[in-house]
Structure 1
């Protein structure tokens, strides 16, 4: 690896910052930088070469460029904006501008931009970058992110105009159901333009008191209440050189921000797809409803013509009511309406700025019959997390479920893992995130997304070590305390435990040991908090959310809380050993054993019945390592009975659902797991699929044939928690499992479980080392299994059934539990076996 401070040096194979030399070893991900200290606010260049085990040389890679973060002293500008006047909930977006001159050729130029609120930067009449809702949501009392844009091609020799739109965003606009101004009163932005000229000299421009400010056509743009845009108020050319801004006022200069200004962590929010409507229908009210065929998160874009002063309004909803109208009762305080006033100038294009909606349907209402809608499209907006997994089966219903899981993730991974994109909530619930983290990692590359979210989680950690329900917190606990007559616990089981489970998942899926080192102390504080607030290793029964939205089952809160205490401690003891804290590994390992003993003593009877006797208590006890081998057998048997007594239907809520099918597979009953997967009667995953769902519903009974819509007070049709069954589909049905001793799929455990109605399955996963793939096909009892292992990795392949044909390149290790185990290096492998009769 070579790193240089100029592209010219690197082109000459000079790594003046770092020349690693030829380093023998098999590590090819997460190699730490080991060169000279990198200066802040600088650009560097790197390239790499590799040799294989035979000494074959790859040649140099192309040259890559990266930058380092600005130091606090390198920010030369001021925070500028407009101070709020009055207590209005919805305020106009501020338009700000300045002009500057460039009198010599530019070699490179970079715009650094941040805001307490949301910004859109513009240079010489063009939008800067494609980031949406920037700078993203963080705990603004602690930190705010900034973005960096390459803007050299947008600059002109001579006069230049620099503009910015500034909205309230999460900072001063509506956040969830808590109302406005959760972090501050006045939106403001900070921007720095740094230029390197062709002659080697440097210059910079920044936000300061010379900037001008005005209101404009965006009368408000709010995260929860939509947008109002009046095209008659547009000031043409405001972001171009030579504009007459004499009527504009001076921007206010604010005091320095006391928090951390940090470079963006994780992927930006972008427009990821454009969807055309699949059908449209006129209503008896003179409006038109457009169906996009897919529940999504984002907004609608319009191309329209009409007379000056005419108003076009777009309302958004996920569902239609029985009369064919938009179903909006479940929005609560949210208003998913964008309104546009036309200026009569011909065909215009409207698209909102600092808001988003959750919808499948859009209804357009026009104030004038002369308005013509030339085109309407839906913009799919979410954090830019690239697809990682691909899973397809022989069952179209299961395939639709898989698509719904992915769309649920797309619709809710927007800066933070939200709980829903439509109603007045849209909060980063930690429990929802941790139960889905493994599924999310198979679906998409979420390493950066969750690294950023963990920053939010630990920013919200209380001084005594408790971890939050939502992150960023935005005053949720204060709000909840005011709205509830009972004491509210800030450390809910399964929610606070995200602080252990998500870092562990990132380590397991990506091999990122640094994430465990970075958060080791706050993770330990959480375990210590749980221990200090337990009685005899048993947690109290105030786990407020319990097994959220379980169906026909009531899992005792103390049992659930103690189970999660045990599981988090089990994982933390393992984490301590991995980061070299052997004394902690021993101590917390012993604490786990104490919790385990206390759990069995308090909650488990000799016949394996666990207090509460719900599906959730059994699957958690089994998956959390809380039972002796003898009790595991009895508890597994009881879990099977609870499922069968319920007509082969589930009762689990948000927390239990992720462990239900894994518990059955680990207990030797994948056949029963498949029965739950294929179940089409309520409650089940396929019930919503059979009734037209295109995303995962928040609740099993969001809509039923007998009752229609559930209570609108909490009924989202775009969620992701119950989609955590995706983890089982990848790990068990496909058999793509990571080995925690060699994480990131450096060593894989390939153990597919063919079964159910499936006659075939193909799964691919873009691991950090390359593409893993498993494909199996059943013809009666005959199974053909094909496996692909990426370069520089190994795998153990578990072939089920009686082996008929084995790949000569694989090495047989053993036979266990009806499976033949082979060791394999990188390459493609084929096996044929005969399966035994399935259990019923």
Structure 2
């Protein structure tokens, strides 16, 4: 770190790449590093150099994150270089930062002139199209920018070269309301003389048959269409615009014969029209395009595009019992396979994708109606390389059929694609399985952040489920720079919500035939903006989404009525509670009314806080009052004088504790005790669904039950976070038992092996276990408060905050605890050390280390236990429990599993009294094993 201040990163709000910005007044951020402890930002000077010369702006104060644009509005296509230098309170001045290009990547109001065009006479649904337009430039090109969008997915070529490396453009938005356009510098692709614009176009999400009950429906349209305009500024000062219109020509006779998000691609290399996007190509056989009715004027993209991020080699080649060849790529990933092959013309290579094997064969049942199959027909011209471009798959395994000759696994490689979001969070700990679980969370996030936050990437769904991102937004915001990505998605949420009188659809963009208000799912409208404000310091997203937030809370309050209890009607509830039957995932142990009313309180409270932050005092008072009425109603209706919650479930107590419904310290402590009791009674195995799972560990540690939280998060028996890891998972599963303990796939109709929702516990690992949390929006002030959990020897979380890199961690060393922290320049931290947690320490920027007594040092294992001990006593001695279960499994695996699942591991009674179905000789062997393990 430099001894004097240095500006190391300058960014512009919602930049889609390293240069382009989506608005005329992008907010600016910069990160300063300085080795001087406690260095504090006092002001900055900004220098903008562009067509009008150099302008400067002097800003006073501490702000360096999402600072309002201090210059005149940018004009379309203007290119600038921005530099920043900062001044500290101590009078120190940094050097100028490296110039940061800022290009106005948007169009002026009324400037969009492109028609929406497609194939005039399609012969089949969602027919892939090639389109082209030749034009001549008589004067050298000074600058050229391409603006393009599609109802479908597209790629543009200029003179035979692709214009960028993005994939599946422009992604999926609420097509009826909002389209996005890319903004691409193509200056270097144009030449004086004849030029050609070529477009590859396929149906993508626009033409997909989305699941709707038993029958898929094509919601948006039957045929894809594209709209683009190329604005060329010539050396003589003139401007030439080439836009899609009726003069373009198109053909459906290209090599892409079939394409769909769910079906996959069929590509016939014999039909490649060489040179089709280059000058000199004869397009006489092509026909004039179809011109559609105008679509919504596209908006500039405000989040990074999707790209090929990395490649994965084949890890193993499997010959299945039926003799088929299956490639194992070693991890569940999202993207496609690129192949290199040679063979006779007309040979068809078929690639079928799936996440798991069952019985040694490719298991496609979880895909439901999604074919997830790519086919390549060889041209017979020697070594041929090919990869899909208009579809994607979620897979680990690929079955290969029709390969000519001997298959060399080096000829096939998996290409991982995702929205290109900067990684910002890294967690590590001493527990191998927990570290692998966190890796799985990261991999699942990347896989499901492809243009929008999806539930899963593989089956006939891949939808923007609101409930999933509502619970996962804090984790996502810690792992990836996803402010622009989720802000863009929230705009679609608000547009779809307005179509349903304030009700938030279950999925955004909305493709469901019926939309009803559902708690936790609809609460994405309030929770996600609040998370973005908390983690990125983004007040702008609160202002932009405020009406959406208010409309949703008004829907909830109307549903609750005068009693302020949201009862009855459809709810997802604590979805996928492990106790729910495979075919009825909504049948949770927690009453859906308890969940719904708790979510209403949370949203009303968030809305009141947002209103106050935005200066809407009347709304703030109104919704704060409503939230308090709901809170009191929840306590009155669902909590007994003894602090028991109706249903007596883990989720119910976690809701009360984490949402702040219970404020009385004594009641809160009693609920924490009951929650810890229930967690132990369940054998420290997960007993919560979508709503409760992100909360339960937080509720335990927040009420002083670190050991229970540790046993819960480190559990490896099913259901648990680590059970899938022991079964070879490389992403987080949708169901706790997507793969059953016997290796078979869950019989439920809804089973995914890449579903990030249950990975939301990673945020607790970051904030609580490692101990790094925002104490002020954007981490301007940081909480460092690690919880050294029993069973771990170390943990650490590193996060690139908007102010710079922060870190919190701890390790056990020679009977002591060593806590470390890195506080970014220009921020402060409040530190709560494990051995003096009630006395926080305030520290300034810099690297810090503290050493103190380890509360777990010297803790003995306790006295011996036997089968005459209580179930809880045996369970709380891991060695005893393991000895017991090993003995039972050696006798009868099914009996052992039934005993484990049916036993309430409570501190009352004797364990042996619950073993009546276990043969006496087995009981005796188990008692001997338990005694031996604890003596």
Q: TM-score range by the shorter chain?
A: over 0.9
- Within the candidate set 829, 834, 839, 2:848 is matched to 829
Secondary structure (helix, strand or coil) at the match of 1:316 reads: strand
Q: Which residue is 1:20 aligned to?
A: 57
Q: Is the 8 A contact 2:113 2:229 kept in 1?
A: yes
Q: Is the 8 A contact 1:304 1:372 kept in 2?
A: no
Instruction: Note if 1:555 corresponds to 2:574.
Output: no
The offset of 1:530, in angstroms, is: 1.1
Q: Is the 8 A contact 1:765 1:772 kept in 2?
A: yes
Q: Is the 8 A contact 1:294 1:360 kept in 2?
A: yes
The offset of 1:84, in angstroms, is: 6.3
The offset of 1:198, in angstroms, is: 3.1
- Within the candidate set 50, 56, 59, 1:6 is matched to 50
Root-mean-square deviation over aligned CA pairs: 1.9
Q: Is the 8 A contact 2:105 2:183 kept in 1?
A: no
Instruction: Note if 1:523 corresponds to 2:540.
Output: no
Q: Which residue is 2:292 aligned to?
A: 254
Instruction: Note if 1:189 corresponds to 2:216.
Output: no
- What CA distance in whole angstroms lies between the structure 1 residues aligned with 2:423 and 2:339? 29
Q: Which residue is 1:769 aligned to?
A: 803
Instruction: Note if 1:540 corresponds to 2:575.
Output: no
Instruction: Decide whether aligned partners of structure 1 residues 526 and 157 sit closer, same or farther in structure 2, where only a CA change above 3 A counts.
Output: same
Q: Which residue is 1:756 aligned to?
A: 790
- What CA distance in whole angstroms lies between the structure 1 residues aligned with 2:618 and 2:95? 45
Q: Is the 8 A contact 2:565 2:597 kept in 1?
A: yes
Q: Which residue is 1:490 aligned to?
A: 516
Q: Is the 8 A contact 1:79 1:207 kept in 2?
A: yes
Instruction: Note if 1:279 corresponds to 2:316.
Output: yes
- Within the candidate set 835, 860, 863, 1:801 is matched to 835
- Within the candidate set 164, 168, 171, 1:129 is matched to 164
Secondary structure (helix, strand or coil) at the match of 1:73 reads: coil
- Which aligned pairs between 1:57-72 and structure 2 lie closer than 5 A? 57-63=93-99, 64-72=101-109
The offset of 1:312, in angstroms, is: 0.5
Deviations 1:553-585 (A, max 9, x none): 511111110000001111111111111112222
- Which aligned pairs between 1:255-404 and structure 2 lie closer than 5 A? 255-257=293-295, 259-283=296-320, 287-322=324-359, 324-366=360-402, 368-369=404-405, 375-404=411-440
- Within the candidate set 191, 194, 200, 1:156 is matched to 191
Instruction: Decide whether aligned partners of structure 1 residues 95 and 674 sit closer, same or farther in structure 2, where only a CA change above 3 A counts.
Output: same
- Per the normalisation by structure 1, the TM-score is 0.92
Gaps of 5+ in 1: 482-488, 803-817
The offset of 1:713, in angstroms, is: 1.2
Q: Which residue is 2:825 aligned to?
A: 791
- What CA distance in whole angstroms lies between the structure 2 residues aligned with 1:608 and 1:654? 24
Instruction: Decide whether aligned partners of structure 1 residues 472 and 3 sit closer, same or farther in structure 2, where only a CA change above 3 A counts.
Output: farther
Deviations 1:369-402 (A, max 9, x none): 4887761000111111111001111111111000
Secondary structure (helix, strand or coil) at the match of 1:20 reads: strand
- Which aligned pairs between 1:728-767 and structure 2 lie closer than 5 A? 728-739=764-775, 742-767=776-801
The offset of 1:180, in angstroms, is: 4.8
Q: Which residue is 1:227 aligned to?
A: 265
Number of aligned positions between the proteins:
800
- What CA distance in whole angstroms lies between the structure 2 residues aligned with 1:371 and 1:380? 22
Instruction: Decide whether aligned partners of structure 1 residues 371 and 378 sit closer, same or farther in structure 2, where only a CA change above 3 A counts.
Output: closer
Secondary structure (helix, strand or coil) at the match of 1:142 reads: coil
The offset of 1:212, in angstroms, is: 1.1
- Within the candidate set 117, 126, 130, 1:80 is matched to 117
Instruction: Decide whether aligned partners of structure 1 residues 370 and 777 sit closer, same or farther in structure 2, where only a CA change above 3 A counts.
Output: closer
Q: Is the 8 A contact 1:398 1:678 kept in 2?
A: yes
Deviations 1:701-756 (A, max 9, x none): 111224721125100001100001101100100111112xx310000011011112
Q: Is the 8 A contact 1:107 1:196 kept in 2?
A: yes
- Which aligned pairs between 1:395-414 and structure 2 lie closer than 5 A? 395-414=431-450
Q: Is the 8 A contact 2:48 2:83 kept in 1?
A: no
Q: Is the 8 A contact 1:305 1:372 kept in 2?
A: no
Q: Is the 8 A contact 2:653 2:671 kept in 1?
A: yes
- Within the candidate set 50, 56, 66, 2:92 is matched to 56
- Within the candidate set 149, 159, 169, 2:204 is matched to 169
The offset of 1:41, in angstroms, is: 5.2
Deviations 1:219-264 (A, max 9, x none): 011001111111111111111110011111111122221x241111
Deviations 1:154-175 (A, max 9, x none): 1122211210011111112233
- What CA distance in whole angstroms lies between the structure 1 residues aligned with 2:167 and 2:624? 45
- What CA distance in whole angstroms lies between the structure 2 residues aligned with 1:102 and 1:704? 64
- What CA distance in whole angstroms lies between the structure 2 residues aligned with 1:573 and 1:218? 53
- What CA distance in whole angstroms lies between the structure 2 residues aligned with 1:463 and 1:96? 37
- Which aligned pairs between 1:704-715 and structure 2 lie closer than 5 A? 704-706=740-742, 708-715=744-751
- What CA distance in whole angstroms lies between the structure 2 residues aligned with 1:694 and 1:756? 25
Q: Which residue is 2:643 aligned to?
A: 608
Q: Is the 8 A contact 2:75 2:108 kept in 1?
A: no
- Per the normalisation by structure 2, the TM-score is 0.83
Deviations 1:744-770 (A, max 9, x none): 000001101111211112210000000
- What CA distance in whole angstroms lies between the structure 1 residues aligned with 2:605 and 2:113? 48
- What CA distance in whole angstroms lies between the structure 1 residues aligned with 2:832 and 2:369? 53
Secondary structure (helix, strand or coil) at the match of 1:460 reads: helix
Instruction: Decide whether aligned partners of structure 1 residues 367 and 181 sit closer, same or farther in structure 2, where only a CA change above 3 A counts.
Output: same
- Which aligned pairs between 1:414-425 and structure 2 lie closer than 5 A? 414-425=450-461
Q: Is the 8 A contact 1:306 1:371 kept in 2?
A: no
Q: Is the 8 A contact 1:542 1:557 kept in 2?
A: no
Secondary structure (helix, strand or coil) at the match of 1:719 reads: coil
The offset of 1:286, in angstroms, is: 5.3
Q: Is the 8 A contact 2:178 2:492 kept in 1?
A: no
- What CA distance in whole angstroms lies between the structure 1 residues aligned with 2:322 and 2:506? 43
Secondary structure (helix, strand or coil) at the match of 2:640 reads: coil
Q: Which residue is 2:884 aligned to?
A: none
Instruction: Note if 1:726 corresponds to 2:770.
Output: no
Secondary structure (helix, strand or coil) at the match of 1:313 reads: strand
- What CA distance in whole angstroms lies between the structure 2 residues aligned with 1:613 and 1:660? 14
Instruction: Decide whether aligned partners of structure 1 residues 662 and 532 sit closer, same or farther in structure 2, where only a CA change above 3 A counts.
Output: same
- What CA distance in whole angstroms lies between the structure 1 residues aligned with 2:273 and 2:742? 55
- What CA distance in whole angstroms lies between the structure 2 residues aligned with 1:606 and 1:473? 43
Q: Which moved more, 1:617-626 or 1:202-211?
A: 202-211
The offset of 1:2, in angstroms, is: 4.5
Instruction: Note if 1:139 corresponds to 2:177.
Output: no
Deviations 1:475-526 (A, max 9, x none): x1x1xx4xxxxxxx61110000000000000000000011111111221111
- What CA distance in whole angstroms lies between the structure 2 residues aligned with 1:465 and 1:588? 16
- Which aligned pairs between 1:421-440 and structure 2 lie closer than 5 A? 421-440=457-476
Secondary structure (helix, strand or coil) at the match of 2:575 reads: coil
The offset of 1:47, in angstroms, is: 2.5
- Which aligned pairs between 1:84-123 and structure 2 lie closer than 5 A? 85=122, 88-89=124-125, 91-123=126-158
Q: Is the 8 A contact 1:390 1:763 kept in 2?
A: yes
- What CA distance in whole angstroms lies between the structure 1 residues aligned with 2:568 and 2:674? 24
Q: Which moved more, 1:99-108 or 1:290-299?
A: 99-108
The offset of 1:35, in angstroms, is: 2.9
Structure whose alpha-carbon radius of gyration is higher: 2
The offset of 1:65, in angstroms, is: 2.1
Secondary structure (helix, strand or coil) at the match of 2:699 reads: helix
Q: Is the 8 A contact 1:120 1:164 kept in 2?
A: yes
Instruction: Decide whether aligned partners of structure 1 residues 239 and 260 sit closer, same or farther in structure 2, where only a CA change above 3 A counts.
Output: closer
